[in-house]
Amino acid sequence: MKNWKPNSWRKYPVKHVPSYENEKELNQVLSKIKSFPPLVFAGETRHLKDQLSQVVDGKAFLLQGGDCAESFAEFNPDNIRDTFKVILQMSLVLTYSASLPIIKLGRIAGQFAKPRSAPTEKQGDKELPSYLGDNVNGIDFTEKSRRHDPKRLFKAYSQSASTLNLLRAFSNGGFADLKNVHLWNLGYIKKSPQAKKFKELEDKIADALAFMDACGINSDFNRRLKTVNFWTSHEALHLPFEESMARIDSTTGECHATSAHFVWIGDRTRQLDGGHVEFCKGIENPIGIKCGPTSKPEEIAKICEAINPKNEKGKITLISRFGHDQVEKFLPKLIRRIKKEGLNVIWSCDPMHGNTIKSTTGFKTRPFNKVLNEVKNVFAVHQSESSYAGGLHIEMTGQNVTECTGGAKNISEQDLSSRYHTHCDPRLNADQALELAFLISDEIKKNSNYARNAIKAAS
Ligand code: PEP
Ligand code: CO
């Protein structure tokens, strides 16, 4: 990447990058951000990439989750704590089921910018610019709020810094101690038809922890049981912002996106000759690529080669999001193509974005069962294609919202209005997210057995 620069993307066509009325004001904000500290350190990003290379080999599993869009309104320490807690609890269930380390990656501390299906939104006779995320404009349907305001970029940067600061404190300060993580509240889940199975799994995890404790293997004995590695990620959509956060690592001379450890390219901006792919070619971070029904296998393979010419393990995560009933149609062809080219990728499943519907009560929602089915179908396809389903990518929150229907609490379309807080897509609430982890534990187990056998056969 000899001629690549953080601003090279500007020579390429870009979609979903907001325009601003006042260029000068935008550039002032970007220069200020450029002079502020990076949010993450290049050494951390290398550590994550190294861990991700284990997923490629079937020796670890990636769990990525958080808001569809973070917002200024929902920014408070309890929300950060609760999302973090649910991700740790899901990880514990998955670790136990898979007997594999789980890499914990939040869609947090920078997940603001959103691509939208239309540039404008109409309500009655009034038409205004669409809401593009709190780092660009406001969600209120007024002219003032929908104006693209560069100052919001700095507010989002500051919020990301505070969020990350608290996450680092939680990860290392004792909150993530294994014996605390297990103190979950399974209230509603225990009323589900699967309650007996959940109770059994919960008991087994408690027994395993008690056994370890009796043997003296606890957090007093080993600090690793008290701390976790928790990484951050977001869609690298707002390229002017990402450019201002791209920094040269003084220890290696390499360029890193320092806005997060991991960034991904969305399903709408992954054009091979587009600015988003160009930007990701030059940064050292691990990169996700969302693959929806319009993605062509040969094109995805070319994007992987362009971003990862050395075919480094852990560099690329392909995040499939076809929809529960489209998985069989699209995923096998994609897997075969990637295999044929010999490309090293992590296969992650986003069961959210292909299963969004409009409820009869007018809300964007996702039926829990469809989400669950997409995960099951993806795992089944990987098994029949002899490949390893190594990750799960979900939109979730630690709060008790009512945005996705179904789950043990059986949220109905009528219930959605009661606590519908998302600024963009509907998220699984804390109960639904943990329930999903329990419900896929069998698939995860089969899948990891498969991975282990495949590794044995290859060696
Ligand atoms: C998202 O992850 O919020 C998103 C917009 O996804 P996709 O690019 O897969 O549509
Ligand atoms: Co979303």
Residue bearing the CA closest to ligand 1, atom 6: 266
Residue 147 lies in a domain: yes
pLDDT for 179 equals 79
CA atoms within a 13 Å half-sphere pointing along the CA-CB vector of 390:
29
pLDDT for 194 equals 75
Q: How far is the CA of 295 from the centre of ligand 1 (A)?
A: 13
Q: 232 by DSSP, 3-state: which?
A: strand
Exposure string for 92-124, b = 16+ CB within 10 A, e = fewer: bbbbbbbebbbbbbbbbbbbbbbbeeeeeeeee
Q: Which atom of ligand 1 is nearest to the CA of 107?
A: 2
Q: Which atom of ligand 1 is nearest to the CA of 111?
A: 3
* CATH code where residue 146 lies: 3.20.20.70
Domain count, the chain: 1
Residue bearing the CA closest to ligand 1, atom 1: 68
Let me know: does 302 contact 265? Beta carbons within 8 Å: no
Residue 205 lies in a domain: no
pLDDT for 192 equals 73
Q: How far is the CA of 16 from the centre of ligand 2 (A)?
A: 14
Residue 341 lies in a domain: yes
By CB atoms closer than 10 A (0-12, 13-18, 19+), residue 235 is buried
Residue 218 lies in a domain: no
Residue to substitute in 280, 350, 394, 403 for testing ligand 1 pocket (most ligand atoms within 8 angstroms of CB): 350
pLDDT for 104 equals 98
Residue to substitute in 268, 271, 348, 374 for testing ligand 1 pocket (most ligand atoms within 8 angstroms of CB): 268
Q: How far is the CA of 115 from the centre of ligand 2 (A)?
A: 9
Phi, psi of 395, deg, nearest 5 = -100, 120
Please work out whether the CB of residue 256 comes within 6 Å of at least one atom of ligand 1.
Answer: no
DSSP string, 254-277: -EEE-S-SEEEE-TTS--TTSHHH
Q: Which atom of ligand 1 is nearest to the CA of 269?
A: 8
pLDDT for 279 equals 98
Q: How far is the CA of 106 from the centre of ligand 2 (A)?
A: 14
Please work out whether the CB of residue 266 comes within 6 Å of at least one atom of ligand 1.
Answer: yes
Q: Which atom of ligand 1 is nearest to the CA of 114?
A: 5
Residue 416 lies in a domain: no
Residue 193 lies in a domain: no
Of 118, 116, 121, 110, which is closest to residue 153 (Cα–Cα)?
110
C-alpha 20/C-alpha 116 separation (Å) is: 17
Q: What is the pLDDT along the chain (459 residues), one digit of tens a residue?
A: 779 999 999 999 999 999 999 999 999 999 999 999 999 999 999 999 999 999 999 999 999 999 999 999 999 999 999 999 999 999 999 999 888 999 999 999 999 999 999 999 999 999 999 999 999 999 999 999 999 999 999 999 999 999 999 999 999 998 888 877 777 666 666 677 777 877 888 888 889 889 998 998 988 888 888 899 999 999 999 999 999 999 999 999 999 999 999 999 999 999 999 999 999 999 999 999 999 999 999 999 999 999 999 999 999 999 999 999 999 999 999 999 999 999 999 999 999 999 999 999 999 999 999 999 999 999 999 999 999 999 999 999 999 999 999 998 999 999 999 999 999 999 999 999 999 999 998 888 888 777 777 767 777
Residue bearing the CA closest to ligand 1, atom 8: 266
Residue 208 lies in a domain: no
Q: Which atom of ligand 1 is nearest to the CA of 424?
A: 3
Domain that holds residue 291: 8-176+227-354+367-400+423-458
Let me know: does 438 contact 96? Beta carbons within 8 Å: no
Residue 314 lies in a domain: yes
